[in-house]
Structure 1
């Protein structure tokens, strides 16, 4: 189970309340303005303009508690700087490769840890990642025309974006590379792969096994496979216990059969 549901919330042009003085409050104002929102400095203005988010950055505990309570009564979700117990949501450390955003959060446990993880990822992810995403967004209509079948389309994109693929995200790819790839893209077959687990610990999965679970269209599994393993499966993949029977096969679908440890 995850402790919080990560969401990307569009706030451009919308009112957001930011309360407090000092460096912490100023940092929150910059963050909100960077996302294009209208910063309001009182709960009254926020309530009048329909604000749904509030940031409280007071140094004094009593002031922070009072404004958190007031904002909640006004129907706002609240983030209270350095006070995880008062937060309805937390703010992750953000890696910006717009339109690609990578958010690293620790549920308020350690902002320093989130920052250091983000800095490690900064080194790995090239600046051209945003251009690649923009190119893929612009190619959506052409992809649907080239691959009308959704499974075939997903397989073609997965193959192109895989490690060493023509659109490998960790390589220096730009929007122009998307058009070059699309001109020669071919649908690939699916097939079936069996994974025999060595343990119920997801860290024991090999890189290949983790990739297969993350890209599979259908996952058939023994009935007692634990949630910690099944959580590695792509969210929109078809999942079915082998005890329930096998769904109709598709020539384009990648099916992974997941077996319990011996």
Structure 2
């Protein structure tokens, strides 16, 4: 991973913007949408955007300890600006580390077409229901599994479904809590993450624990949730525990 993606809260904070022309105007609009206070090169700020690609301006700012983005010069950038899919408060950022802004734009357009306009309303409905969710599933593990099941494809609050925000109250009243234990087997055709099927990739993103032989590559295990337990074993477990467990083994 070449960079750590972060979301900066800029409302009311100063950001340096230098340069003129179309590129600078586009960056100004973006910063204004985020609520930033735009100042010039001499202003006091922690980050800056050099919209005209001026390496000398970038060097002066870096010497002051300012983190800098330099338009069209990724080698000079401390951070890059992603293509953004905005379903406020849901934000999806797509970055290529400066390799290709055109690719990031193309991916954004594809994702834009997939995500319903009401996705933000679902996020707000889940926020408002946070206390009710905690009361419905007091145990943290059971709560996470119930949320995963609810948001899964075809689930009662599937984000890509029809008005899922309106379904949140009905989901909270369902009898099933999504806490039953399951063990699924993934047989890997190779050690390349790109060779994972969509179903296997989805399971890795949902599993509570990953049982695997020692020869399963780290690149595959990295596709699992960061907080999922990784357990080296010679064979699948007899009692995997609550929630979703996976048994990973190499084919052949």
* Structure 2 length-normalised TM: 0.93
Distance 1:139-1:185 versus aligned 2 partners, 3 A rule? farther
Q: Residue 214 of structure 2: SS of its match in structure 1?
A: coil
Q: Residues 71-150 of structure 1: matches in 2 within 5 Å?
A: 71-150=61-140
- Number of paired residues? 250
Q: Equivalents in 2 of 1:206, 1:236: separation in Å?
A: 22
CA contact (8 A) 2:213 2:233 kept: yes
Q: Equivalents in 1 of 2:164, 2:246: separation in Å?
A: 32
Q: Equivalents in 1 of 2:105, 2:2: separation in Å?
A: 19
Q: Equivalents in 1 of 2:15, 2:214: separation in Å?
A: 47
Q: Equivalents in 2 of 1:25, 1:197: separation in Å?
A: 48
1:205 is aligned to 196
**What is the root-mean-square deviation of aligned Cα atoms in Å?**
1.9
Q: Residue 5 of structure 1: SS of its match in structure 2?
A: coil
CA contact (8 A) 1:156 1:185 kept: no
Q: Residue 159 of structure 1: SS of its match in structure 2?
A: helix
1:45 to 28, 32, 43: 43
Q: Residues 225-240 of structure 1: matches in 2 within 5 Å?
A: 225-240=216-231
CA contact (8 A) 1:135 1:174 kept: no
Query: Can you give the 5+ residue segments of structure 2 that lack an aligned partner in the other structure?
Result: none
Q: Deviations over 1:18-37 (max 9, x none)?
A: 01111111111111111111
Query: Can you give the 5+ residue segments of structure 1 that lack an aligned partner in the other structure?
Result: none
Q: Equivalents in 1 of 2:194, 2:181: separation in Å?
A: 26
1:54 to 25, 48, 52: 48
Q: Equivalents in 2 of 1:254, 1:203: separation in Å?
A: 22
CA contact (8 A) 1:143 1:182 kept: yes
- Offset of 1:209 from its aligned partner? 1.5
Q: Residue 45 of structure 1: SS of its match in structure 2?
A: coil
Q: Residues 156-195 of structure 1: matches in 2 within 5 Å?
A: 156-184=146-174, 186-188=176-178, 189-195=180-186
Moved runs in structure 1, 4+ residues, more than 4 A?
A: none
Q: Residue 155 of structure 1: SS of its match in structure 2?
A: helix
* Structure 1 length-normalised TM: 0.89
User: Which has the higher mean CA deviation after the structures are superposed, 200-209 or 132-141?
Assistant: 200-209
Q: Deviations over 1:205-250 (max 9, x none)?
A: 222221111100111221121122112101221122227x97x953
Q: Residue 68 of structure 2: SS of its match in structure 1?
A: strand
